Amino acid sequence: MVVVAGALCDGGRLLAARRSAPAELAGRWELPGGKLEPGESPEEALVRELREELGVETETVERIPGEWPLKPGYVLRVWTARLLSGAPEPLEDHDELRWLARHELDSVDWLDQDRPAVAEAALRLTAA
């Protein structure tokens, strides 16, 4: 099973989202996303998840190479994404959002499995 997550970049900053559930992940920060639904491409799933969770319209830009294991049977794949319209709000799954500049990326406690992709996304952040 594939879980897709988005490195949403805008104005040289990356969006970090703090999970509100489940208890073992609550308070940790992640790249927002979720599981594919049947028949969806990963890119379609990511655009849907970012709409549901954040209330924004986005487009995927490029896949960050690699995949990272989650619980047994699940892997995380990450795409960079661009904001098309709206301002992200923590509608679902998160209780706080932060736009982080490259030098601020270490200021939040990322989920371990998200860290390699965050580091790769940082290299792709264009200067604001």
67 CB-contact burial (10 Å; exposed 0-12 / middle 13-18 / buried 19+): middle
Rounded Cα distance, 34 and 107, in Å: 23
Contact indicator for 84, 50 with CB cutoff of 8 Å: no
Q: Which of 30, 80, 105, 118 binds ligand CDP (CB under 6 A)?
A: 30
**What is the smallest separation between the CB atom of 17 and ligand CDP, expressed in angstroms?**
8
> Contact letters (x/-) for ligand CDP, 34-63, by CB under 6 A?
xx----------------------------
111 part of the interface to ligand CDP, by CB under 6 A: yes
**What is the smallest separation between the CB atom of 101 and ligand CDP, expressed in angstroms?**
20
122 part of the interface to ligand CDP, by CB under 6 A: no
**What is the smallest separation between the CB atom of 86 and ligand CDP, expressed in angstroms?**
19
Nearest residue to 95 via CA among 18, 14, 24: 18
Helix, strand, coil % over all residues of the chain, rounded to 5: 25, 40, 35
88 part of the interface to ligand CDP, by CB under 6 A: no
75 part of the interface to ligand CDP, by CB under 6 A: no
Query: What pairing do the DSSP bridges indicate for beta strands 75-85 and 2-10?
Result: parallel
Residues that bind ligand CDP (CB under 6 A): 3, 5, 25, 30-31, 33-35, 70, 76, 93, 111, 113-114
